[in-house]
């Protein structure tokens, strides 16, 4: 296992800059997830780590070795691709042992290694088949097996689960997590699925337009996003951004929002609002913080109950999402399915702002940090 | 071992990228090199060379006395060249139109879930596997004014049937059309059949649900979606027409007189047998101009289309 | 869907359907007729040709014309029949096809999986090479072959066919390799395989269909070539098409159409056999250059 340091890496194609100075460093054995919308540069960064693309500037270190200009085969990295990229003309066993063969590992050792990996991934019965004869989930396992066989310093996963159906995806997600816990390997994992990111990562790097927007643990990113983009990207349904006016109240500062009637809610860090008195900002509030009135929370600090106008309800089984509109912004509330919210009617909701965050409306940055 | 290799990488100058001198990195370029050199010399270099020759008064051997556009002037004053050009117009126009018409018709007919489709398709297309020289030889016999089709029709009872196009300077060019259509129309059929099979079947179902008849479906939905195939067929057929050399050589040898010459034959005759290299080069450049006039818009749209994907 | 199929059985539909078949089979007869005439003519003797018509059957099977065409007919000044030229053609075709196919495969592999600066531009430039009228390169090529001392030789002809065939073979292989996912090559590179190992172990094993298409295409093109043959071959290295043309246009005494036809069939036979055995691949080659992807 080895640590990974990405030091001010830039990548240009002609005039366009795909990576604008990426700085990431993770410890040996850490599970790093790169998330971001398509075109954000996460795949380019992945390819740069693997050595499949040259970088224009900056350094990449694996352990203490500078590998910026090393060729892919000399970096000792294995990669699992979205399309699996299994060699169609080889059997599963040959696919798994190809990398060892290229590194001139003797035949007996190769066979033993195939054996070990096959057992670990429960694909022993598939070893003699060709990739075309496998199901999607089986191909996925073989692709992982091929990566595991070489015991490299680091694994790269490029959206490995996105070609699987929903049920299999959840299964494999758990399996990858178990493997990581068992083997303690360093993993860099690209995905656009934020649930995968939350469940698997030790640390998440949220990327956009060739820049890392935020690097942190899943919980940090969820609770404490640095800007509107990160806040909106992580979490499903996304965080609500409610337009609110900063008002002065009893010598402190609070926020006024236009629910069914104008409602003033408190804010955890009132002093940070001082500079914005009288202006409109965006209040960031996760859907689970707007619920039906809950007796045990009644009267606590940062809890306010107000009426809202229900636009649509979306039952999801465990919860029901109630949609309302505050000024022009759509707001999701996560309610108990038993709560009798009906479209077109007004109903009471409890706003818990103890974990609320605030963003500048113009530049999207946090103002309460 | 990996450690060593990685260290080798870090040993490079920190300022910029190290010069990658390993053979492996140069392999793709080394492999392509022979083709690149051959293409630059034998396609573009020779094109320029021929262009240069066309501005000289070379006769039996290339000389490099430049005479400006004299050869082109001579070319367009030359009756034989003008006959060849107008023949190309007639031959090319008819050949392309008839091939397209037959090809589209046969493809649509064959697309009606025909039994023995494979066998019929094989028969339509086999002439494409044959050399134009063989085609010319065969049709020379078939169109033979005394013993060919004419005699057969007379024997069948059409006493007054006359068919002597092959020896009629005004009609001989149509013989070329007949033979060329026989050879290439099956190919157009194959192109369109492949196109028809590629049309989205859900689109056809939608049209049928909208109440379109079979004919309307073809006319309004399917054929318009085959525009790229039309375009490709058009380019390939005009390319065949402009390059046609062997068919004339075998079927008419340019005769009677030079009434069935095409530009390709004119070029060959002047450059290789009549010691008029300058004139031959000029005629080759005119042919190249004709091909480019068709090709450049085609390649442009093809490459642009690819970028959109 | 079965309802739709059942509805189509009205009388009008039946009549149309019969008309369709008549039309299709009629056209098939038209396409077949020339070859049938060639075959019938080649089996008659000169007297029968004069008295009969194109489609009249020979009174007895007479292979004299065939043996004369093969080994005795005069092509220009020599009277050795088609046989030597038939073998000349093979001597030209086999190395030319092999070399151009190999080069095309390597070029296609580079252009689709080892792109470098300018490789796409070069590919576009090469495409133009597929389409230029060869008249434009005839004169310089004749000079070059003279300088290299391979004018009028088989080697020279092979070289010419390779140079102008590579554009097509590259196009074929490039379009095919374009459909092989880039991840496959990336995975192999991470596994430690190099340029040729990837080509040999990963790419080549899945290339069989496109190799067949390319070989058939090149074989047909080069076998059927006349222009390069007539311009660059010597008396003893002429390919079969040039010999056929000479035979047909040699006019000593009476015209022997039966020999002409037998010789024409001999010249056409190899490509026809290939077409009948592997027509599917032949068609794929024909359409590959036209309908891309």
pLDDT (mean) for B103-124: 89
Yes or no, beta carbons of A70 and B17 under 8 Å apart: no
Yes or no, beta carbons of A73 and C197 under 8 Å apart: no
Yes or no, beta carbons of C184 and A87 under 8 Å apart: yes
Domain borders along chain A are 4-233, 240-359
Instruction: Please identify among residues 273-302 of chain B the ones whose CB lies closer than 8 Å to any CB of chain C.
Output: 277, 280-281, 283-285, 287-288, 290-291, 295, 299, 302
Q: B236-290: per-residue pLDDT in tens?
A: 898 888 888 999 999 988 878 888 899 999 999 998 888 889 999 999 999 999 8
C-alpha to C-alpha distance for B134 and B251, rounded to whole angstroms? 9
Chain B residue whose CA is closest to A103: B1
Which chains, if any, share at least 3 CB pairs under 8 A with chain B?
A, C
CATH number of C83-290: 1.10.3720.10
Chain A: nearest CA to C193, how far in angstroms? 6
Yes or no, beta carbons of B39 and C134 under 8 Å apart: no
Yes or no, beta carbons of B3 and A65 under 8 Å apart: yes
Measured between beta carbons, which residues in chain A are less than 8 angstroms from residue B12?
69
User: Is the preceding omega at residue A237 within 30 degrees of 0, hence cis?
Assistant: yes
Lowest mean pLDDT among A312-326, B49-63, C72-86, C168-182: C72-86
Q: What per-residue confidence (pLDDT) applies to C288?
A: 64
CA distances from B246 to A24, A143, C119, C241, C244 (A): 68, 55, 35, 9, 12
C-alpha to C-alpha distance for C165 and C222, rounded to whole angstroms? 9
CB crowding B42-55: b at 16 or more within 10 Å, else e? bbebbbebbeebbb
Q: Looking at beta carbons, which pairs linking B173-176 to residues 24 or more positions away fall under 8 Å?
A: B173/B87, B173/B90, B173/B91, B173/B259, B173/B260, B174/B90, B174/B94, B175/B139, B175/B143, B175/B251, B175/B252, B175/B260, B176/B87, B176/B91, B176/B95, B176/B244, B176/B247, B176/B248, B176/B251, B176/B252, B176/B260, B176/B262
Q: What per-residue confidence (pLDDT) applies to A28?
A: 93
Measured between beta carbons, which residues in chain C are less than 8 angstroms from residue B284?
133, 135-136, 138-139
Tell me, yes or no, if A86 comes closer than 8 A to chain B by beta carbon. Answer: no
Q: What is the mean pLDDT of chain C?
A: 86
Measured between beta carbons, which residues in chain C are less than 8 angstroms from residue A83?
181, 183
Q: What per-residue confidence (pLDDT) applies to B8?
A: 38
Tell me, yes or no, if B246 comes closer than 8 A to chain C by beta carbon. Answer: yes
Measured between beta carbons, which residues in chain B are less than 8 angstroms from residue C164?
42
pLDDT bracket for residue B3 (50, 70, 90): very low
Chain C residue whose CA is closest to B231: C290
Chain C: nearest CA to A81, how far in angstroms? 7
Q: What per-residue confidence (pLDDT) applies to C290?
A: 52
In this structure, what are the phi and psi dihedrals at residue C174, rounded to the nearest 5 degrees?
-60, -45
Yes or no, beta carbons of B10 and A62 under 8 Å apart: no
Q: C166-221: per-residue pLDDT in tens?
A: 988 998 899 899 889 889 999 999 998 889 999 999 999 999 989 998 999 899 99
Of A66, A69, A76, the CB nearest to B2: A76
Architecture in CATH of A240-359: Beta Barrel (2.40)
Measured between beta carbons, which residues in chain B are less than 8 angstroms from residue C170?
35
Residue C48 has pLDDT above 50, yes or no: yes
Chain B: nearest CA to C48, how far in angstroms? 11
Chain B: nearest CA to A233, how far in angstroms? 28
Q: What per-residue confidence (pLDDT) applies to B232?
A: 84
pLDDT > 70 in chain A, percent? 100
Measured between beta carbons, which residues in chain C are less than 8 angstroms from residue A146?
187, 191
Higher-pLDDT residue of A109, A251: A109
C-alpha to C-alpha distance for B150 and C44, rounded to whole angstroms? 19
pLDDT (mean) for A277-295: 92
Q: Report whether CATH 1.10.3720.10 matches the domain B72-308.
A: yes
Q: Which two tokens stand for residue A181?
A: 């816990």
Of A70, A76, A153, the CB nearest to B9: A70
Yes or no, beta carbons of B10 and A66 under 8 Å apart: yes
Where is mean pLDDT largest: A71-85, B287-301, C60-74?
A: A71-85
Chain C residue whose CA is closest to B233: C290
Tell me, yes or no, if C147 comes closer than 8 A to chain B by beta carbon. Answer: no
Lowest mean pLDDT among A268-272, B301-305, C260-264: B301-305
SS3 assignment, position A367: coil
Measured between beta carbons, which residues in chain C are less than 8 angstroms from residue B243?
133-135
Lowest mean pLDDT among B5-19, B224-238, C166-180: B5-19
Q: C248-287: per-residue pLDDT in tens?
A: 887 665 678 888 899 999 999 999 999 888 877 877 777 7
In this structure, what are the phi and psi dihedrals at residue A331, rounded to the nearest 5 degrees?
-125, 125
Q: A190-249: per-residue pLDDT in tens?
A: 998 888 999 999 999 999 999 999 999 999 999 999 999 999 988 888 899 999 999 988
Q: A45-68: per-residue pLDDT in tens?
A: 999 999 888 899 999 999 988 999
Chain B: nearest CA to C290, how far in angstroms? 6
Yes or no, beta carbons of B25 and A66 under 8 Å apart: no
Yes or no, beta carbons of A98 and C193 under 8 Å apart: yes
Q: C90-126: per-residue pLDDT in tens?
A: 999 999 999 999 999 999 999 999 988 888 888 888 8
Tell me, yes or no, if B77 comes closer than 8 A to chain C by beta carbon. Answer: no
Lowest mean pLDDT among A317-321, B134-138, C13-17: C13-17
Residue C8 has pLDDT above 60, yes or no: no
Q: What is the DSSP letter of C233?
A: B
Chain C: nearest CA to A122, how far in angstroms? 22
Tell me, yes or no, if A69 comes closer than 8 A to chain C by beta carbon. Answer: no
C-alpha to C-alpha distance for A58 and A11, rounded to whole angstroms? 9
| Cβ atoms A289, A355 nearer than 8 A | yes
Instruction: Please identify among residues 201-230 of chain B the ones whose CB lies closer than 8 Å to any CB of chain C.
Output: 208, 228-229
Q: What per-residue confidence (pLDDT) applies to C137?
A: 92
Chain A residue whose CA is closest to C197: A102
User: Cβ–Cβ contacts within 10 Å for residue A33, how many?
Assistant: 26
Yes or no, beta carbons of B6 and A66 under 8 Å apart: yes
Q: How many CB pairs under 8 A join B and C?
A: 263
Model confidence, pTM: 0.84
Q: Which residues contact C101 (CB under 8 A, 6 or more apart)?
A: C169, C211, C214, C215, C218
Chain A: nearest CA to C247, how far in angstroms? 50
Higher-pLDDT residue of A287, B217: A287
Lowest mean pLDDT among A39-48, A105-114, B59-68: B59-68
Instruction: Please identify among residues 85-104 of chain A the ones whose CB lies closer than 8 Å to any CB of chain C.
Output: 85, 87-89, 98-99, 102-103
Domain borders along chain C are 2-62, 83-290
| Cβ atoms B102, B187 nearer than 8 A | no
Which chains, if any, share at least 3 CB pairs under 8 A with chain A?
B, C
Chain A residue whose CA is closest to B15: A57
User: Is the preceding omega at residue B256 within 30 degrees of 0, hence cis?
Assistant: yes
Nearest to C131 by CA among B32, A333, B105, B298: B298
**Mapped to the 3 state alphabet, what secondary structure does B166-214 carry?**
HHCCCCHHHHHHHHHHHHHHHHHHHHHHHHHHHCCHHHHHHHHHCCCCH
Q: What per-residue confidence (pLDDT) applies to C1?
A: 42
Residue B148 has pLDDT above 60, yes or no: yes
Measured between beta carbons, which residues in chain B are less than 8 angstroms from residue C143?
62
Yes or no, beta carbons of C202 and A89 under 8 Å apart: yes
Tell me, yes or no, if A54 comes closer than 8 A to chain B by beta carbon. Answer: yes
C-alpha to C-alpha distance for B167 and A115, rounded to whole angstroms? 81
pLDDT > 70 in chain B, percent? 91
Yes or no, beta carbons of B20 and A74 under 8 Å apart: no
Tell me, yes or no, if A277 comes closer than 8 A to chain C by beta carbon. Answer: no
Q: What per-residue confidence (pLDDT) applies to A368?
A: 83
pLDDT > 70 in chain C, percent? 93
Tell me, yes or no, if A65 comes closer than 8 A to chain B by beta carbon. Answer: yes
Chain C: nearest CA to B14, how far in angstroms? 24
Yes or no, beta carbons of B10 and A75 under 8 Å apart: no
Q: What per-residue confidence (pLDDT) applies to C2?
A: 43
Q: B19-41: per-residue pLDDT in tens?
A: 445 677 788 999 999 999 999 99
pLDDT bracket for residue B217 (50, 70, 90): confident
Of A73, A77, A85, the CB nearest to C181: A85
CATH number of A4-233: 3.40.50.300
pLDDT bracket for residue A32 (50, 70, 90): very high
Q: What per-residue confidence (pLDDT) applies to A278?
A: 87
Measured between beta carbons, which residues in chain C are less than 8 angstroms from residue A102?
191-193, 197
Q: What is the mean pLDDT of chain A?
A: 91
Instruction: Please identify among residues 201-240 of chain B the ones whose CB lies closer than 8 Å to any CB of chain A.
Output: none
Q: What per-residue confidence (pLDDT) applies to C252?
A: 61
pLDDT > 90 in chain B, percent? 37
Tell me, yes or no, if A45 comes closer than 8 A to chain B by beta carbon. Answer: no
């Amino acid at each position: 296992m080895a640590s990974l340091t990405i030091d001010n890496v830039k990548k240009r194609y002609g005039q366009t800059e795909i990576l604008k100075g990426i700085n990431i460093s993770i410890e040996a054995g850490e599970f790093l997830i790169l998330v971001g919308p398509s075109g954000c540069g996460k795949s380019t960064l992945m390819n740069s780590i693997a050595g499949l693309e040259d970088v224009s500037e900056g350094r990449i270190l694996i352990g203490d070795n500078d590998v910026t200009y090393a060729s892919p085969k000399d970096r000792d990295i294995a990669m699992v691709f979205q399309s699996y990229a299994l060699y169609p003309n080889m059997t599963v066993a040959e696919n798994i042992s190809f990398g060892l063969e290229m590194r001139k590992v003797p035949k007996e050792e190769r066979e033993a290694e195939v054996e070990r990996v096959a057992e670990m991934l429960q694909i022993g019965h598939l070893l003699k088949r060709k990739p075309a004869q496998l199901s999607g989930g089986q191909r996925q396992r073989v692709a992982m097996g091929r990566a595991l066989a070489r015991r490299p310093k680091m694994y790269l996963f490029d959206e490995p689960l996105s070609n699987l159906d929903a049920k299999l995806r959840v299964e494999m997600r758990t399996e990858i997590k178990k493997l990581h816990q068992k083997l303690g390997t360093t993993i860099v994992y690209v995905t656009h699925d934020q649930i995968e990111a939350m469940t698997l990562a030790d640390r998440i790097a949220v990327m956009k337009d060739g820049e890392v927007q935020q690097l942190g643990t899943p919980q940090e990113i969820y609770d404490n996003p640095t800007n509107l983009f990160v806040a909106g990207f992580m979490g499903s349904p996304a965080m609500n951004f409610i337009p609110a006016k900063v008002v002065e109240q009893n010598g402190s500062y609070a926020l006024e929002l236009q629910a069914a009637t104008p409602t003033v809610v408190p804010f955890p860090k009132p002093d940070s609002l001082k500079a914005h008195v009288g202006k409109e900002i965006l209040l960031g509030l996760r859907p689970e913080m707007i619920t039906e009135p809950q007796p045990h929370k009644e009267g606590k600090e940062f809890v306010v109950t107000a009426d809202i106008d229900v636009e649509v309800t979306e039952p999801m089984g465990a919860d029901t999402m109630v949609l309302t509109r505050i000024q022009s912004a759509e707001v999701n509330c996560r309610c108990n399915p038993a709560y009798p919210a009906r479209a077109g009617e007004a109903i009471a909701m409890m706003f818990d702002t103890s974990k609320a965050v605030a963003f500048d409306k113009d530049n999207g940055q946090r103002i309460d940090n | 071992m990996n450690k060593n290799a990685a260290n080798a990488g870090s040993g490079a100058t920190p300022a910029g990228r190290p010069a990658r001198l390993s053979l492996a990195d140069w392999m793709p370029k080394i492999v392509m090199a022979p083709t690149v050199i051959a293409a630059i010399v034998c396609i573009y270099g020779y094109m320029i060379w021929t262009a240069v020759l066309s501005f000289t008064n070379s006769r039996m051997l290339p000389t490099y006395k430049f005479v400006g556009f004299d050869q082109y002037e001579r070319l367009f004053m030359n009756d034989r060249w003008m006959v060849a050009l107008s023949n190309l117009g007639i031959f090319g126009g008819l050949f392309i139109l008839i091939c397209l018409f037959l090809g589209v018709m046969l493809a649509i007919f064959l697309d009606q879930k025909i039994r023995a489709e494979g066998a019929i398709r094989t028969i339509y297309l086999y002439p494409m596997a044959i050399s134009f020289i063989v085609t010319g030889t065969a049709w020379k016999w078939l169109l033979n004014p005394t013993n060919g089709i004419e005699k057969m029709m007379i024997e069948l009872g059409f006493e007054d049937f006359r068919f002597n196009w092959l020896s009629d300077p005004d009609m001989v060019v149509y013989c070329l059309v007949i033979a060329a259509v026989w050879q290439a129309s099956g190919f157009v059929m194959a192109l369109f059949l492949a196109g028809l099979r590629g049309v989205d079947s859900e689109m056809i179902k939608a049209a049928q649900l909208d109440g379109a008849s079979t004919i309307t479906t073809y006319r309004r939905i399917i054929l318009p979606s085959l525009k790229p195939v039309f375009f490709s067929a058009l380019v390939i057929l005009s390319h065949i027409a402009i390059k046609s050399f062997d068919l004339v050589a075998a079927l008419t040898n340019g005769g009677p007189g030079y009434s069935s010459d095409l530009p390709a034959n004119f070029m060959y005759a002047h450059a290789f047998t009549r010691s008029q290299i300058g004139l031959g080069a000029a005629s080759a450049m005119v042919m190249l101009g004709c091909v480019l006039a068709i090709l450049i818009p085609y390649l442009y749209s093809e490459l642009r289309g690819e970028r959109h994907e | 869907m079965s309802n739709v199929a059942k509805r189509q059985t009205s009388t009008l539909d039946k009549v149309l359907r019969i008309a369709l078949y008549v039309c299709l089979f009629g056209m098939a007869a038209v396409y077949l007729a020339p070859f049938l005439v060639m075959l019938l003519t080649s089996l008659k003797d000169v007297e029968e040709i004069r008295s009969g018509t194109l489609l009249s059957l020979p009174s007895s099977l007479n292979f004299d014309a065939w043996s004369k065409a093969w080994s005795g007919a005069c092509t220009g000044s020599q009277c050795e029949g088609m046989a030597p030229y038939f073998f000349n053609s093979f001597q030209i075709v086999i190395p030319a096809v092999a070399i151009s196919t190999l080069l095309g495969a390597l070029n296609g592999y580079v252009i689709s999986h080892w792109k470098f600066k300018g490789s796409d531009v070069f590919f576009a430039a090469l495409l133009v090479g597929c389409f230029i009228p060869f008249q434009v390169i005839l004169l310089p090529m004749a000079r070059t072959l003279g300088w290299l001392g391979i004018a009028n030789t088989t080697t020279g002809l092979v070289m010419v066919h390779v140079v102008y065939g590579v554009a097509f073979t590259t196009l074929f292989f490039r379009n095919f390799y374009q459909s092989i996912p880039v991840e496959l090559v990336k995975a192999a590179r991470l596994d430690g395989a190099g340029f040729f190992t990837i080509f040999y172990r990963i790419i080549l094993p899945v290339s069989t269909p496109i190799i067949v298409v390319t070989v058939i295409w090149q074989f047909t093109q080069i076998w059927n070539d006349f222009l390069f043959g007539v311009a660059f071959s010597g008396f003893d290295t002429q390919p079969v098409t040039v010999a056929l043309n000479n035979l047909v246009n040699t006019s000593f005494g009476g015209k022997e159409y039966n020999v002409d036809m037998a010789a024409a069939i001999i010249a056409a036979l190899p490509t026809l056999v290939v077409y009948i055995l592997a027509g599917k691949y032949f068609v794929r080659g024909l359409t590959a250059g036209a309908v891309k992807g």
